[in-house]
């Protein structure tokens, strides 16, 4: 893979590749799975929620794409290895790994009536593990496949919470900052020790209303924005929350040859949130 010598059309061509997407049954990553399948990528949808993964895979197949659901717990090495065996049996290789499984937990979030000082260690550990360990373990197991192949592409999911911590989400902010750090670490490690043709990058989505943050951004009873939700919109120059489709172009760019010399970076996809101090 040299510099970019191809036409615009083929530069972004990712057809024929195989992708493993953890958390592929979830809101953001199911959209990625569908989008990649439309581009001709064979996708393995890995999720703890097997029914959700199956639903996404079925939907893709109905559209004419190629997808398989594979149950996994990204926090258990043996489970991830079993998923690798299943994926290798089906596809024979892993060109792309998207580490999408992650999220926050209310019990690990500091509130006025639930102080930082009282957050139980189990809740902190749950969020650290789900995000950081849940990114590192699949990167070990599927990264080894890519090291043997000599080519590969890994995309991690960081967050706005990583660049400067968000109020309230103490464990989540720390865990996502660690994911940005790990993205750089792994890019260097795989490049130095295995192949210059394995790239590792991350995206840092802005604010997308999903299950992990609905309780922070909207009032449960009315559905109206909370003061925090209003503040997010005020600090987003594009003045809206993201929708899952907003992430797709960046994902395709990062895994295509159009990003052939892009390695070890974290790309904000945030409507300008991270560019604005609020003044």
Binders of ligand NAD among 88-107, rule CB under 6 A? Answer: 100-103
Tokens of 182: 């790990």
Q: What CA–CA distance (Å, rounded) separates 53 from 234?
A: 35
**Catalytic choice (91, 126, 172, 182):** 172
Of the listed pieces 9-17, 46-54, 107-115, 188-196, which binds ligand NAD according to CB under 6 A? 46-54
Q: Which is nearer to ligand NAD, 25 or 152 (CB)?
A: 25
Are the beta carbons of 157 and 99 closer than 8 angstroms?
A: yes
Taking the complex as a whole, the smallest distance from the CB of residue 263 to ligand NAD amounts, in Å, to 21
Can 194 be counted among the known catalytic residues?
Answer: no
Q: What CA–CA distance (Å, rounded) separates 167 from 147?
A: 39
Interface residue with ligand NAD among 28, 57, 94, 190 (CB under 6 A) is 28
The answer to whether residue 268 forms part of the interface with ligand NAD (CB under 6 A) is no
Q: Which is nearer to ligand NAD, 65 or 206 (CB)?
A: 206
The answer to whether residue 254 forms part of the interface with ligand NAD (CB under 6 A) is no
Taking the complex as a whole, the smallest distance from the CB of residue 32 to ligand NAD amounts, in Å, to 9
Q: What CA–CA distance (Å, rounded) separates 235 from 243?
A: 17
Question: What is residue 179's three-state secondary structure?
Answer: helix
Taking the complex as a whole, the smallest distance from the CB of residue 9 to ligand NAD amounts, in Å, to 30
List strands edge to edge, sheet with 266-269. 67-71, 42-47, 18-22, 96-99, 152-157, 198-205, 266-269
Taking the complex as a whole, the smallest distance from the CB of residue 265 to ligand NAD amounts, in Å, to 16
Measured between alpha carbons, how far is residue 79 from residues 91, 103, 224, 239 in Å?
18, 19, 40, 41
Q: What CA–CA distance (Å, rounded) separates 10 from 24?
A: 26
- Per-residue contact string for residues 198-237; x = within reach of ligand NAD by CB under 6 A: -------x-xx-xxxx------------------------
Interface residue with ligand NAD among 17, 19, 26, 271 (CB under 6 A) is 26
Q: What CA–CA distance (Å, rounded) separates 98 from 115?
A: 34
Count of residues interacting with ligand NAD (CB under 6 A): 30
Of the listed pieces 1-9, 19-27, 111-119, 227-235, which binds ligand NAD according to CB under 6 A? 19-27
> For residues 106-130, b (16+ Cβ closer than 10 Å) or e, as one string?
eebbeeeeeeeeebeeebbebbbbb
Taking the complex as a whole, the smallest distance from the CB of residue 24 to ligand NAD amounts, in Å, to 7
Tokens of 262: 């892009």
The answer to whether residue 109 forms part of the interface with ligand NAD (CB under 6 A) is no
Taking the complex as a whole, the smallest distance from the CB of residue 247 to ligand NAD amounts, in Å, to 9
Going by C-beta distance under 8 Å and a sequence separation of 6 or more, which residues neighbour residue 45?
21, 24, 25, 30, 33, 53, 56, 57, 67, 68, 69, 70
Active-site amino acid positions:
172
Residues in touch with ligand NAD (CB under 6 A): 22-23, 25-29, 47-49, 52, 72-75, 100-103, 130, 134, 157, 159, 205, 207-208, 210-213
């Amino acid at each position: 893979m040299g510099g970019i010598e191809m036409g615009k059309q083929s530069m972004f061509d990712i057809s024929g590749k195989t992708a493993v997407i953890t958390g592929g049954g979830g809101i953001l990553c199911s959209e990625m799975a569908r989008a990649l399948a439309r581009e001709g990528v064979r996708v393995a949808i890995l999720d703890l929620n097997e029914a959700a993964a199956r639903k996404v895979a079925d939907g893709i197949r109905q559209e004419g794409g190629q997808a398989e659901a594979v149950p996994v717990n990204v926090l258990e090495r043996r489970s991830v290895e079993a998923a690798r065996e299943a994926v290798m049996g089906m596809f024979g290789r892993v060109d792309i790994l998207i580490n999408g499984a992650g999220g926050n937990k209310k019990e690990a979030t500091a509130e006025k009536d639930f102080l930082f000082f009282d957050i139980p260690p189990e809740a902190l550990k749950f969020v650290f593990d789900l995000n950081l360990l849940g990114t590192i373990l699949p990167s070990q197991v599927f990264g080894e496949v890519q090291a043997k192949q000599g080519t590969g592409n890994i995309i991690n999911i960081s967050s706005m919470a990583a660049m400067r911590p968000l109020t309230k989400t103490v464990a989540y902010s720390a865990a996502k900052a660690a994911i940005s750090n790990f993205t750089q670490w792994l890019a260097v490690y795989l490049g130095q020790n295995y192949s210059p043709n394995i790239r590792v990058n991350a995206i840092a989505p802005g604010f997308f209303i999903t299950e992990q943050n609905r309780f922070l951004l909207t009032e449960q009873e009315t559905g109206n924005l909370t003061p925090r939700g209003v503040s997010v919109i005020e600090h987003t120059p594009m003045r809206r929350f993201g929708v899952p489709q907003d992430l797709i172009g960046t994902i395709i760019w990062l895994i295509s040859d159009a990003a052939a010399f892009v390695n070890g970076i974290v790309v904000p996809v945030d409507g300008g949130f991270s560019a604005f101090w609020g003044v």
